[in-house]
A and B are shown apart, each in its own frame.
Chain A
């Protein structure tokens, strides 16, 4: 059976911004430098001018959350964008707070309507950004719930909302790990919102026999043993099939998670073989699990019996009519000759059909019984 394991691949970001949860200030120099370093290290192929731009408006504190917590989330969002290779951020403006205050529907309790999409789209346009975005942070006894809102400039219809999982925010010593969690979450939210194609994970397929071909969603991705894991697999469920002549295929559904390595181990089962001309060749009689021969013969049998049923029913009806007329002493010929001949012919046809049907059915059953391997031999 395939074995799957998952582990996080995203390296921990530096935690120099722990205090930024409490403070909104951040060094623009540090942001630019960090972004450059990250881009160079990642070796991304995008030129800066090709990346989409976003006007990230201040995050708002929703029910159960504090302004400080919202500011901290905003800070991490900015850092994540700065360090990303898929998004550029427009510079903050003085009226950002005022703008987001206008776009924020304070009285709206439904979280998907907390932000006015048109207002946010206009704000993005005014800031010459491709996207306008903000976040609303909700809280509940030490847990954070982040809603990231994004909309294309002057296109309210493009409004998207990405909801992050609830993140626990333990106090004291656990704060560092919660910051790491926040970084992963914000990165995932941003990728899902602005660069869905970058939400990928890796798949590692191991197992036997060597030489088996690995397919992911019917696309050939290598031959066992794989030199390395298969990268760039989009987040979500995929079909992994491992195939090789002389073996039963193995096909499984695999869940790929963002920035995680999913391991998949297989061991194919060999098909039965026969000896022909001194060589081992696949045994044709056991090559497939689908018993097409018995099925075809059984179908003939079924058709024969069905035909017999129809003809027999018609013959029985004619027989009943003949009996009715005979009981009245009014079965006359030649008037009723056709009735008798037809009934007789139908009965004969029915019996022939039954004979064929039963014979074929019995032969199919025998074929099935004596030629198919028992279930234990199946993979």
Chain B
């Protein structure tokens, strides 16, 4: 009896030691609680969210570029179209009123940067800032393709430089095409024929740093676009009785008109609407009731995406004026040319023209929470 009790006493000691050891071993498995912070397990970059890369089996953001900058913020683009947004597509990021980033978070010392995964190096990103009174739109070229339905990195905004230095220089190479209509160096006042075709009465002239397209004049960009294209004119309408003015895309750069087409068309007295002819045999039609415009300096944008999921849209100062999207009746997938045609008692004074490959529907810009720098020692 005593021997049995002793054996059971020994057994209880062994059992206690075993349970204790098991608890200890379970407590020391390597599972740092970091998934909630985006550090998920991965086998390749494809397993990681945009802006993160797979290293040591974890999705992690790229290293801090410059410790002189006390904060950084990741800007992402969600491609909701059915087309891939190719690298180089200029994407507008609205900062300030109505934008994704408060203007207070975007100081004068801010800069844009992208991380090159292949080389492991950072580089400054080209930017063109379209300035307004209470906001700005930063146009930034995508560093890499963003497939349809996917999210990609637009940029890392670095700010809060310890010395407050300014480092941004606006460049126009972010666009597929840009023209600021600066006076030609040869003193001529005409458009370069390599880029434009002109039709109509008299010469289209450049006045100061603006292009003047007068009544019975027509300007066609010789460069064709297919797929997604977005053209923006920054200018003003001179004249209150203005009709027959067309800013948009047609299918031929030499004919007076060729469908398919889509553009902003003024029918009478500054009343304008989106005129669409999605197929070669379509009759151009105003999509909805015209809206009265004014003679202020505005940005007029026309967007067309051909092929599946495409459509067209007209915007004034980044506000949608009208849009035409019909999944069952998409635009013919043909080359399109941008044309400015004035056939009324008015003229167009154009300061800038830029073209990007933005698809429809427009991509959505999101930003992650700004990350303040903390210096962790190795």
State whether B17 touches A365 (Cβ < 8 A).
Answer: yes
Can you list 18 A-B contacts (CB < 8 A)?
A312-B25, A316-B27, A325-B376, A328-B374, A330-B374, A332-B64, A333-B55, A338-B378, A340-B56, A344-B30, A354-B28, A358-B21, A362-B14, A365-B11, A369-B10, A369-B11, A375-B3, A376-B3
Interface size class of A (residues with CB under 8 A): 35 or more
One of A330, A335, A376 near B378 (C-beta < 8 A)? A335
Select one of B25, B63, B373 contacting A358, CB under 8 A.
B25
**Partner of B3 from A308, A311, A374 at Cβ < 8 Å:** A374
Contact residues of A: prevailing secondary structure:
helix
CB pair B30 A347 closer than 8 Å? yes
Complex Cα distance, B21 from A361, in Å, reads 10
Complex: chain A residue closest to B373, CB-CB: A330
Residue in A315, A335, A357, A361 whose CB lies within 8 Å of B28: A315
Encoded as 1 (CB less than 8 Å from any B CB) or 0, chain A from 313 to 341 comes to 10110011111111111111111111111
Cα separation A354 to B21 with both chains bound (whole Å): 7
Contact of B56 among A315, A333, A366, A369 (CB under 8 A): A333
Known: A326-B37, A328-B374, A354-B28. 4 other contacts (CB 8 A): A328-B376, A333-B53, A333-B56, A354-B25
In the assembled complex, which residues on chain B have CB atoms less than 8 Å from the CB atom of A366?
14
Nearest residue (CB) in A for B53 is A333
Q: Do A358 and B22 touch (CB < 8 A)?
A: yes
Which residues of B does A touch, CB under 8 Å? 2-3, 6-7, 10-11, 13-14, 17-18, 21-22, 24-25, 27-34, 37-39, 53, 55-56, 58, 60-64, 371-374, 376, 378
In chain A, residues 361-379, which have Cβ atoms closer than 8 Å to a Cβ of chain B? 361-362, 365-366, 368-369, 374-376
Nearest A residue to B371 via CB reads A329
Considering the complex, give the chain A residue whose CB is closest to the CB of B374. A328
B25 near A365 (CB under 8 angstroms)? Answer: no
Binding site for B on A (CB under 8 A): 305, 308-309, 311-313, 315-316, 319-341, 343-344, 346-348, 350-351, 354-355, 357-358, 361-362, 365-366, 368-369, 374-376
The residues of A that contact B38 with a CB separation of less than 8 Å are 326, 329
Q: Name which residue of chain B comes closest to A365, CB basis.
A: B14
| Contact A350 B25, beta carbon cutoff 8 Å | yes
How close is B161's CB to chain A, nearest CB, in angstroms? 18
Question: In the complex the two chains form, what is the Cα distance from A366 to B7 in whole Å?
Answer: 10
How distant is A372 from chain B, measured CB to nearest CB, in Å? Answer: 9
Q: Which of A312, A319, A344, A375 contacts B6 (CB 8 A)?
A: A375
Q: How long is the Cα–Cα vector from A69 to B164 in the complex, in angstroms? A: 116
Closest CB-CB distance, A180 to chain B, in whole Å? 52
Chain B neighbourhood of A368, CB < 8 A? 10
Q: Which residue of A lies closest to B19 (CB)?
A: A358
CB contact under 8 A between A330 and B37, given known A361-B21, A365-B17, A374-B7? no
Collect the chain B residues with CB atoms within 8 Å of residue A375's CB.
Answer: 2-3, 6
B61 and A326 within 8 A (CB) = no
Q: Cβ of B2 and Cβ of A308 under 8 Å apart?
A: no
The CA of A334 and the CA of B55, in the complex, are separated in Å by 8
The CA-CA distance from A353 to B227 in the complex, in Å, is 62
Q: How far is the CB of B214 from chain A (nearest CB, A)?
A: 56
Residues of A within 8 A of B24 (CB): 305, 308-309, 312, 354
Contact B7 A333 (CB under 8 A): no
Task: From A316, A333, A376, name the one whose CB has the most chain B CB atoms within 10 angstroms.
Answer: A333
Ranked 5 nearest A-B pairs via Cβ = A374-B3, A312-B28, A365-B14, A347-B30, A333-B55
